[in-house]
């Protein structure tokens, strides 16, 4: 059975929708247009136009949002996607997002940005995977990470929010207060901004009076 609405979904209609698509926690949504199906094994809700889904911890907004699976497990967002986790101080934007509510994992595809206000970190890439339970962020393709005066770029990065650690691979380069470092692999302690480099190490140290360049293959803090 399918049902639809071409008007803005207000609280009363939300209660009907939630009764048809029962969830374990508080879970609401709204949009300009809604189409839904209760067919067994194919439970879906398609929201279009100013679509918004929110629970106690997470807010998702997009041009279109599709909710599917048992107990609304899967959420697919497309077009001008914005996500906010106020409790953790996380905000992200992307063009396409897939979220598994059971595993608490999100995959962002397209030009994506994650802002971590708690750790004062901004991360950007073309492919981003966020694991809420482990507190890890995997970034791939055109990775850019900013924190205070620290700027990092690489092809691959693993950001551990809880430990405040950053691992860079794939031609990583770090710019720190005018200095430039590059190597095969890098680890950065975001508590202290200390950089550990492994493999072929290169660096340029700048000061107001002179510029020093180094090239070696040793591990360097």
CA distances, 186 to each of 156, 166, 183, 193, 206 (Å)? 11, 8, 7, 12, 20
The 3-class secondary structure across 49-94, one letter per residue, is EEEEEEECCEEEEEEEEEEECHHHCEEEEEEEEEEEECCCCEEEEE
Instruction: Let me know if residue 28 belongs to a domain.
Output: no
Q: In 3D, which of 4, 31, 6 has the Cα closest to residue 20?
A: 4
The SS3 assignment for 3 reads strand
Predicted confidence (pLDDT) per residue in 38-83, tens digit:
665 667 899 999 999 998 889 999 999 999 988 888 999 999 999 9
> Is residue 98 in a domain?
no
Question: Checking DSSP bridges between strand 165-169 and strand 173-176, what pairing results, if any?
Answer: unpaired
pLDDT tens digit string along 4-48? 544 333 333 443 343 334 344 677 889 999 998 766 566 789 999
Q: Angle at the Cα of 180 (from 167 to 120), degrees rounded to 5? A: 50
Question: Which CATH number is 137's domain given?
Answer: 2.60.450.10
The conformation of residue 184, written as its DSSP 8-state character, comes to: S
Asked if the structure places residue 85 within a domain, the reply is no
Q: What is the pLDDT of residues 132-158, one digit of tens each?
A: 999 999 999 999 999 998 999 999 999
Does residue 18 form part of some domain?
no
Residue 117 belongs to what domain range?
Answer: 103-221
Domain contains 173: yes
* Residue 213 is assigned to a structural domain of this protein: yes
User: At 81, phi and psi to the nearest 5?
Assistant: -80, 135
Plot region of 86 (φ>0 → left; ψ -120 to 50 → alpha; else → beta): alpha
Residue 151 included in any domain: yes
What's the pTM value of the predicted model, to 2 decimals? 0.80
Domain count, the chain: 1
């Amino acid at each position: 059975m399918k049902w639809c609405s071409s008007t803005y979904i207000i609280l009363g209609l939300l209660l009907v929708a939630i009764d048809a698509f029962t969830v374990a926690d508080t879970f609401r949504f709204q949009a300009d247009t809604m189409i839904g199906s209760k067919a067994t094994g194919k439970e879906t809700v398609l929201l279009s136009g100013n679509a918004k889904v929110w629970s106690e911890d997470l807010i998702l907004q997009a041009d279109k949002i599709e909710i599917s699976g048992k107990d609304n497990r899967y959420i697919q967002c497309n077009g001008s996607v914005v996500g906010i986790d106020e409790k953790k101080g996380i905000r992200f934007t992307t063009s396409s997002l897939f979220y598994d509510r059971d595993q608490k994992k999100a995959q962002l595809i397209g030009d994506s940005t994650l802002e971590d206000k708690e750790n004062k970190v901004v991360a950007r890439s073309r492919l981003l995977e966020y694991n809420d339970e482990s507190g890890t962020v995997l970034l791939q393709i055109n990775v850019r990470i900013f924190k205070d005066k620290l700027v990092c770029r690489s092809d691959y990065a693993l950001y551990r929010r809880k430990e405040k650690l950053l691992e860079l691979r794939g031609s990583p380069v770090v710019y720190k207060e005018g200095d430039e470092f590059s190597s095969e692999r890098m680890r950065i302690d975001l508590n202290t901004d200390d950089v550990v480099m492994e493999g072929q190490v290169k660096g340029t140290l700048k000061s107001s009076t002179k510029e020093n360049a180094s090239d070696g293959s040793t591990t360097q803090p």
